[in-house]
A and B are shown apart, each in its own frame.
Chain A
Amino acid sequence: MNLKIHDLHKFYGEGESRVEVLKGVECEVKAGEICVLLGPSGSGKSTLLNIIGGIESADEGCIDIGDDCTSTMGEKELTQYRRNHLGFVFQFYNLVPNLTVKENIEVCAYLSKKPLDIDELLKTLGLYEHKDKLPSQLSGGQQQRCAIGRALVKNPSILLCDEPTGALDYQTSKEILSLIEVVNKKYHNTIIIVTHNNAIKDMAHRVLKLRDGRIVSDYTNDIVVSASELEW
Chain B
Amino acid sequence: MRNPLNKRIPRIFKKDAGKYIGIFLILVSIIALGSSFMAVMDSVQYTLDNNDRDCLLEDGQFETMLPVTDEAIVLIESNGVDIDENFYISINDFDGDVKLVVFDERDEMNLPSTFEGELPQKDDEIAIDRLFAKNHNIGIGDEVECRNQRFIVTALIALPDYNALFKSNQDLVMDVKGFGVAVVNHAGFERFAEDVHTYRYSYRFVDRELEKSAEREKIEYIQQTLVKNGSVIQSYLTKETNQCINLLREDMGKDGPVMQVFIYLLIMVVAFVFAILTANTIESEATIIGTLRSMGYTKAEVIWHYLSPTIIVALLSSVIGNTLGYTAMIEPFKNMYYGSYSIAPLQLRFNMKAFVMTTIFPVVIMILINLFMLWRKLSLSPLKFLRKDLSKKRQKHAVKLPDISFMARFRLRVLIQNKINYIILFVGIFISSFLLMFGIGLNPLVDHYVDEIDDSLTYEYQYILKAPVPAEGGEKLQTYSLKTWYAFGKTDMDVSFMGVSDDTEFFDGLKLPDNTDEIVISKPLADKLGAKAGDILEFKDDYYEKTYTLKVVDVYDYKGSLTAFMKLENLNELLGYEKGNFNSYLSNEKLDIDEHLIAKYITRADMIGSIKQLMESFRGVIFILNIFSVAIYMILMHILTKTVIEKNALSISFMKVFGYENNEISRLYLRATTITVLASLVVCIPIEVWCFKYTMVYVSSMVEGYMPFYLPGWVYAAIILIGIAAYFAINAFHIKKVKSIPMSEALKNRE
Contacts of A109 in B (CB 8 A): 406
Contact with B along A84-106 (1 / 0, CB 8 A): 10101011101011111001001
Assembly CA distance A94 to B661 (angstroms): 19
Contacts of A82 in B (CB 8 A): 657-659
Contact check, B417 vs A98: say whether CB atoms are below 8 A apart.
yes
Minimum CB–CB distance from A191 to chain B (whole Å) comes to 17
Q: For chain B, what secondary structure do more than half of its interface residues adopt (helix, strand, loop), or is it mixed? A: helix
Residue B714 CB within 8 A of the other chain: no
Contact check, B747 vs A83: say whether CB atoms are below 8 A apart.
no
Given contacts A83-B659, A137-B396, A90 and B747 within 8 Å (CB-CB): yes
Residue B733 CB within 8 A of the other chain: no
> Across the two chains, which residue of chain A brings its CB closest to B658?
A108
Find B658's partner among A80, A88, A98 (CB 8 Å cutoff). A88
Find A98's partner among B413, B660, B743, B750 (CB 8 Å cutoff). B413
Contact check, A55 vs B747: say whether CB atoms are below 8 A apart.
yes
Contact with A along B587-606 (1 / 0, CB 8 A): 00000000000000000000
Contacts of A133 in B (CB 8 A): 397-398
Contact check, B414 vs A98: say whether CB atoms are below 8 A apart.
yes
Contact with B along A121-154 (1 / 0, CB 8 A): 0000000000011101100000000000010000
Contact check, A103 vs B410: say whether CB atoms are below 8 A apart.
yes
Contacts of A137 in B (CB 8 A): 395-397
Contact with A along B401-421 (1 / 0, CB 8 A): 000001101100110110000
Contact check, B750 vs A111: say whether CB atoms are below 8 A apart.
no
Residue A28 CB within 8 A of the other chain: no
- The A/B interface has a contact count, at CB < 8 Å, of 83
Stretch at the interface among B72-80, B348-356, B434-442, B648-656: B648-656
Residue A212 CB within 8 A of the other chain: no
Minimum CB–CB distance from B407 to chain A (whole Å) comes to 7
Residue B695 CB within 8 A of the other chain: no
Contact check, B651 vs A92: say whether CB atoms are below 8 A apart.
no
Contact check, B416 vs A98: say whether CB atoms are below 8 A apart.
yes
Assembly CA distance A88 to B721 (angstroms): 43
Minimum CB–CB distance from B655 to chain A (whole Å) comes to 7
Number of interface residues of A (CB under 8 A): 41
Contact check, B657 vs A55: say whether CB atoms are below 8 A apart.
yes
Residue A175 CB within 8 A of the other chain: no
Minimum CB–CB distance from A218 to chain B (whole Å) comes to 24
Question: What size tier do the contact residues of chain B reach?
Answer: 20 to 34
Contact check, A55 vs B744: say whether CB atoms are below 8 A apart.
yes
Residue B391 CB within 8 A of the other chain: yes
Contact with A along B718-751 (1 / 0, CB 8 A): 0000000000000000000000000110110111
Find A90's partner among B391, B396, B414, B746 (CB 8 Å cutoff). B746
Minimum CB–CB distance from A113 to chain B (whole Å) comes to 12
Residue B8 CB within 8 A of the other chain: no
Assembly CA distance A108 to B413 (angstroms): 16
Given contacts A84-B659, A88-B657, A88-B658, A94 and B396 within 8 Å (CB-CB): no
Assembly CA distance A167 to B387 (angstroms): 13
Residue A107 CB within 8 A of the other chain: yes
Assembly CA distance A82 to B654 (angstroms): 12
Given contacts A96-B654, A103-B410, A106-B406, A80 and B747 within 8 Å (CB-CB): no
Given contacts A86-B659, A103-B413, A111-B659, A94 and B744 within 8 Å (CB-CB): no
Minimum CB–CB distance from A105 to chain B (whole Å) comes to 10
Contacts of A81 in B (CB 8 A): 659
Residue A79 CB within 8 A of the other chain: yes
Contact check, B417 vs A79: say whether CB atoms are below 8 A apart.
no
Minimum CB–CB distance from B534 to chain A (whole Å) comes to 60
Contact check, B654 vs A92: say whether CB atoms are below 8 A apart.
no
Contacts of B656 in A (CB 8 A): 79
Contact check, A132 vs B398: say whether CB atoms are below 8 A apart.
yes
Residue A163 CB within 8 A of the other chain: yes
Contact check, B397 vs A94: say whether CB atoms are below 8 A apart.
no
Residue A33 CB within 8 A of the other chain: no
Contacts of B744 in A (CB 8 A): 50, 55-56
Assembly CA distance A92 to B659 (angstroms): 19
Assembly CA distance A4 to B260 (angstroms): 71
Most chain B beta-carbon neighbours within 10 Å: one of A55, A83, A84, A163: A55
Contact check, B406 vs A110: say whether CB atoms are below 8 A apart.
yes
> Across the two chains, which residue of chain A brings its CB closest to B744?
A55
Contact with A along B627-661 (1 / 0, CB 8 A): 00000000000000000000000110011111111
Contacts of A55 in B (CB 8 A): 657, 743-744, 747
Minimum CB–CB distance from A117 to chain B (whole Å) comes to 15
Contact with B along A205-224 (1 / 0, CB 8 A): 00000000000000000000
Contacts of B409 in A (CB 8 A): 103, 106
Contact check, B413 vs A99: say whether CB atoms are below 8 A apart.
yes
Q: List 24 A-B contacts (CB under 8 A).
A: A49-B747, A50-B747, A55-B744, A56-B744, A76-B661, A79-B656, A79-B659, A79-B660, A81-B659, A92-B749, A92-B750, A92-B751, A94-B654, A97-B651, A98-B414, A103-B406, A103-B410, A107-B406, A107-B655, A132-B400, A133-B398, A134-B396, A136-B389, A150-B658
List 8 additional A-B contacts (Cβ < 8 Å) besides A107-B406, A108-B658, A136-B389: A79-B656, A98-B414, A98-B417, A103-B413, A111-B660, A132-B398, A134-B397, A136-B391
Q: Which A positions have Cβ atoms within 8 angstroms of B?
A: 46, 49-50, 53, 55-56, 76, 79-84, 86, 88, 90-92, 94, 96-100, 103, 106-111, 132-134, 136-137, 150, 162-163, 166-167
Closest 9 pairs between A and B when the two form their complex, measured CB to CB: A83-B659, A82-B659, A98-B417, A55-B743, A100-B398, A106-B406, A96-B651, A134-B398, A98-B413
